[in-house]
Structure 1
Amino acid sequence: MLIRRIKCVRNLGIRYNSSHYVTTPIFYVNAAPHIGHLYSAVIADAHCRYQRLRNPEKTVRLCTGTDEHGTKIQQAATLHGIPVAKYCDDISERYREVFRSASIQPDDFIRTTEERHKRAVAHFWRTLHSRGHIYSAAYSGWYCVSDETFLTDSQLRLDESTETRFSLESGHPVEWTEETNYMFRLSQFQDDVRHWVKQEARIRPAKFEKILLDTLSEPLPDVSVSRPSNRVHWAIPVPDDDSQTVYVWLDALVNYLSSVGYPNKEFSAHWPPAQQVIGKDILKFHGIYWPAFLLAAGLEPPGQLHVHSHWTVDGQKMSKSKHNVVDPVQAAQQYTMEGLRYFLLREGVAHSDGNYSHVKAQRILNSELADTLGNLLSRACAKSLNPGQIYPSADAEHLADLLRTLDATKRLQESLLQLSERCESHYECNHFHLVADTAMAALHAANNFFESSRPWTLKAGTAESNQPRLETIIAMTMDALRLCGIVLQPIIPQLATRLLDKLRVPTAERGWNYLAKSFASSPAHLGGSCQLDGQTSALLFQRIVEENPTKEEHKPQPAKRIKSKKKDRRETMS
């Protein structure tokens, strides 16, 4: 049983640790990055940013990178007419550039062609072999080149008109293959893997736990973990047997160990991963093969798999044949990379495929970033209302009067009081769309308060006695912006930084604990006046306008709240 194996792991000196280690998949370099790859990376990055924000004393580590071995890489390089190594260098660098521009901050970007990884794979292989979990055998079966995997009859569909078989899951064609391979005794670990999957919150959302358990309800065949070198030469050689190369999925999964220094002892400071972010198409490899490999090697499986769904484009599956693959670099030219990052986290939900469309992206970014957030900051910083360009202090008497006489003030206070607890709950579950929804609800309450309090009737010069009330309204508005800026740092780090810079919020006061310090939580917390940062523009996000807008598009659009996701997008789905 798994419990017995875990005890054995502890006896080896591997311990639970205070590090919060998070990984993305390492991305296969058979093609350039698209928004699906970026989505995996921004989920992991936002999760890590929140963990650092919420627990500054915790060591948080993020790993991403590229998977560069296998048949498809050989074929892609040949198609482009360049050496395989050069092809891998080029595509891997494109991933680095996209992630850099999207403010993704990995602690390690690993490549499976690196020597440190090859050493780790060789050690891992020898460990499995020495423990009796790998054996050599003649093997025959249906092999899918595109998916780099053998498939059973139950995983295939037959096109009777052409007598061609295809993978049920991916739709890719398969071919009959007979060869001598090394096999991993996967069947011996079926009960252990099932026990691991069943642990609370191990697989999230819960629908993917059910998928794994359904697969584990039938006997698992042993899995081929090598390929003949004469067929797959662009791979890591099997230790002590150059006639075989390591199966790309065994090779690739070990990267999570390589990144933290395996097999050197220091890797245990970060192992096991707290969370591994993956797409649903690689669930079998991470949810069955990976924990089995680790248990066979005497290592602890990951704490949690966070599985996300895919992106369609205007309701259609994204594919090269349909010419609708969305290049993040091109999309960022329309929306900015920060805007694209926000849209993916705002609109994407883990349990269901998201739909990418230009109309939807433009509507959300204009309504929420340009109008609801950006316009509120611009109005509070307007020189007509705030000629001194200050983040003013609030006046106790006027603050109490506004709370007593203006319903919009009470609604704003209630919204801000709930902000920390609600957003913390959503962040812990990677429900970034609900974090954005909660923050936007607070900002809508702030906009409503600003309108209802009518500060333009109190602007400087009309009556000296009105100045304290005007400054109190501006202070309360800026307080709402400050709190929402803190909350949104993991989702839109660049915009949130500019917002907090503009308000001159000290770097040391941008942590989660500072959400408790506002007029909403304590009317006695009135703050002190400070000068706004004159070097930072109050224009946070430029509205997206079509090149040839119609008259309708020229009309000023009022800030609208984007409605919450449907009920099936709520936390209960996880």
Structure 2
Amino acid sequence: MERVLQKLVHSSRMLHFLPKRRCLSNLSNKNFFITTPIFYVNASPHLGHLYTSLVADAAQRFQHLVSKSPSFLSTGTDEHGSKVQKAAGKIDTQLYCDQISNQYVEMLEMYGVDFSKFVRTTSTEHKRAVQAFWKKLEGKNLIYTGDYSGWYCEADEAFVPETRTEKLSDGARISSESGRPVEWTSEQNFLFKISAVKDDLLHWLKDKHVIQPRKFHDLVQLWVGEGFHDVSITRPSHRVPWGIPVPDHPGHSIYVWMDALINYLTVAGFPDTLQKWPVDVHVIGKDILRFHAILWPSLLIAAGLEPPKQIHCHSHWKVDSEKMSKSRGNVIDPRGEIRLKFTAEGLRYFLLREGTNHSDANFSETKVFNILNAELAGKLGNLLNRCTGKSLNPKQVWPVYVSGLVGDQYLVEALRELPDKTKQHYEDFNFYKAVDEVILVLQEANKFFEDQKPWTLQRDSAEMHSILSLTLETLRVVGIVLQPVIPKLTGQLLEKLDVPLENRYWADLKTFVWDKTSAEKTLQSQKLTLFPRLGDGK
């Protein structure tokens, strides 16, 4: 269902949008535009940053498989604010930003995240976009100066409503969401008239599909119900000098969150062009939901621009059932030893296979070890070894299939149903459920192979040919379906099966190989160990 812009109601300051259901299957288009948040450079990348990137990457790879059209994935780094300047210490702040930003690029490339644009908030193009956006709001009289007071969290760089603070026994206050200390602060700032777009924001939120999963949509509505107050969108430059100056007011720096959110417009070409707008999906973690689901759409509506079609919010990762934190010493750097131990594709598989949207997931090295050995090395890799091993398939061919084997109808039916089952899960960003369906098919295929006992048959018999052919077809189907999750491994698998690049799309799952040809096919001759079994130990 296409997004419909309501032309009938058009005020001088904003546009109104009709809420309509937007499933990902309906977001397929020539310019599918998906984003990760830009990552804050006050610290090096960790497992959570990687997971967010993988979710967005898997989603855009799936869209490409379905539509055969280009997609656009943007990511980048958020480089302004007092925390960044503090983290830089004695190092030149820009040099520090360069170093940490490069670490994020390195991580993305290591894990095959196929991004189209990497934006940095210290770039000239971004600063230009932020200041142009400011002037756009200023021209609509939606920015004014005023005294702003409230509980300010230095660590979060945000004012926190009193209703979301807690008073400790010693009289101090903390943010009830982050647990970090807050202090009462009064200062003169520029404020954004978010109250002016309240009705339009509520209208956008009427569509329960604009924020997914549903629990997060309900949470945003709860927040909105607490009341609307105009938002401070600057900080005094003497307090936050490392930021983008307010146009014509160098004594103020633009609030780091307003600066950061505008990155999505920067990558779309603002202020010169917006050919890719609006964003189809913002992928974010639950800790930044408030900014993306309230402040960001409000800013866009105020500027006369469409808000995002969908915000997909995921939960966090724990490590051995504990929250990841520097104080606990359990922050995992995905560029380090963990990648060498489990491989980049192995970690891609585990994170997308185990990560859930609605609740926090748990990272355990023992669990990674067991799952990769059982599923990638075992169910998938072992099945490939069985049907391409020289003892059963000495000529390295894909033989002709003839139906009628005992038990083959169950596997054939499972293969027919797999594309539709997994497609729905991919559309809902439930990658773990898609992998579950694949594993069930692989279990059925391995059971089929065991039951048929091909090692007891004549090598050139029709029965042997059919067993090998059906098993290879299982691998082809599974290989295509799993491309968003493990693109490198599935690429190697499909190459071994001699499946051309142009025949690796979702549409190619509609028919089986034997529906198109009755001729024997030749496999690639080189031996492939798809995923070597990991050694003993954690």
TM-score (norm 1): 0.88
2:129 match: secondary structure:
helix
Alignment correspondent of 2:446 = 447
1:309 counterpart letter in structure 2 = S
**Native 8 Å contact 2:13 2:140 kept in 1:** no
Alignment correspondent of 2:479 = 485
Shift of 1:260: 1.2
Distance of 1:140 and 1:274 partners within structure 2? 36
Alignment correspondent of 2:23 = none
**Native 8 Å contact 1:190 1:216 kept in 2:** no
Please give the per-residue CA displacement for 1:240-261, whole angstroms capped at 9, x wherever unaligned. Answer: 1100010000000000000011
Alignment correspondent of 1:77 = 88
Alignment correspondent of 2:404 = 401
**Native 8 Å contact 1:38 1:328 kept in 2:** yes
Alignment correspondent of 1:564 = none
1:400 match: secondary structure:
coil
| Residue among 321, 332, 336 paired with 1:326 | 332
* Structure 1 residue 420 corresponds to structure 2 residue 419: yes
* Structure 1 residue 365 corresponds to structure 2 residue 372: yes
Please give the per-residue CA displacement for 1:392-451, whole angstroms capped at 9, x wherever unaligned. Answer: 222xxxx2321xxx12x1210111010111111111111101111111111111111111
Alignment correspondent of 1:259 = 267
Distance of 1:433 and 1:60 partners within structure 2? 22
Shift of 1:376: 0.3
Alignment correspondent of 1:336 = 343
Alignment correspondent of 1:169 = 177
Change (3 A) 1:236 1:517: same
Alignment correspondent of 2:310 = 304
Shift of 1:189: 2.1
Alignment correspondent of 1:561 = none
2:271 match: secondary structure:
coil
- Structure 2: give runs of 5+ residues left out of the alignment: 18-26
**Native 8 Å contact 1:518 1:526 kept in 2:** no
Distance of 2:12 and 2:455 partners within structure 1? 67
Alignment correspondent of 2:507 = 513
Alignment correspondent of 2:134 = 125
1:41 match: secondary structure:
helix
* Structure 1 residue 99 corresponds to structure 2 residue 108: yes
Within a 5 Å distance, the mapping from 1:18-417 to structure 2 comes to 19-56=31-68, 58-78=69-89, 81-161=90-170, 163-265=171-273, 267=274, 269-329=275-335, 330-394=337-401, 399-402=402-405, 406-407=406-407, 409-417=408-416
Alignment correspondent of 1:529 = 520
1:40 counterpart letter in structure 2 = T
Change (3 A) 1:368 1:144: same
Shift of 1:218: 2.1
**Native 8 Å contact 1:43 1:345 kept in 2:** yes
Change (3 A) 1:401 1:256: same
Please give the per-residue CA displacement for 1:264-288, whole angstroms capped at 9, x wherever unaligned. Answer: 13x1x21000111000000100000
1:379 counterpart letter in structure 2 = R
Please give the per-residue CA displacement for 1:26-67, whole angstroms capped at 9, x wherever unaligned. Answer: 0001111111001110000000000000001x3411100000
Change (3 A) 1:152 1:88: same
- Structure 1: give runs of 5+ residues left out of the alignment: 461-465, 550-574
Shift of 1:529: 2.2
2:404 match: secondary structure:
helix
1:529 counterpart letter in structure 2 = E
Please give the per-residue CA displacement for 1:163-205, whole angstroms capped at 9, x wherever unaligned. Answer: 2211000001112222111011112222221221221411100
**Native 8 Å contact 1:5 1:295 kept in 2:** no
2:228 counterpart letter in structure 1 = L
**Native 8 Å contact 1:345 1:432 kept in 2:** yes
Distance of 1:503 and 1:363 partners within structure 2? 27
Change (3 A) 1:8 1:379: farther
**Native 8 Å contact 2:75 2:119 kept in 1:** yes
* Structure 1 residue 542 corresponds to structure 2 residue 521: no
Distance of 1:10 and 1:340 partners within structure 2? 48
1:441 counterpart letter in structure 2 = L
Change (3 A) 1:295 1:524: closer
Q: CA RMSD in A?
A: 2.0
Shift of 1:373: 0.2
Shift of 1:8: 6.3
2:530 match: secondary structure:
coil
Change (3 A) 1:419 1:180: same
Shift of 1:380: 0.7
Distance of 2:12 and 2:270 partners within structure 1? 15
2:448 match: secondary structure:
helix
TM-score (norm 2): 0.94
**Native 8 Å contact 1:23 1:276 kept in 2:** yes
Shift of 1:364: 1.0
Please give the per-residue CA displacement for 1:483-523, whole angstroms capped at 9, x wherever unaligned. Answer: 0000000110000000001111111111111111216xxx6
**Native 8 Å contact 1:71 1:232 kept in 2:** yes
1:176 match: secondary structure:
strand
1:300 counterpart letter in structure 2 = E
**Native 8 Å contact 2:14 2:301 kept in 1:** no
Distance of 2:172 and 2:276 partners within structure 1? 46
Change (3 A) 1:262 1:472: same
Change (3 A) 1:114 1:365: same
Please give the per-residue CA displacement for 1:126-174, whole angstroms capped at 9, x wherever unaligned. Answer: 001110111011222211111110012111111122x221100000111
- Sequence identity, in percent? 46
2:249 counterpart letter in structure 1 = D
1:328 match: secondary structure:
coil
1:190 counterpart letter in structure 2 = K
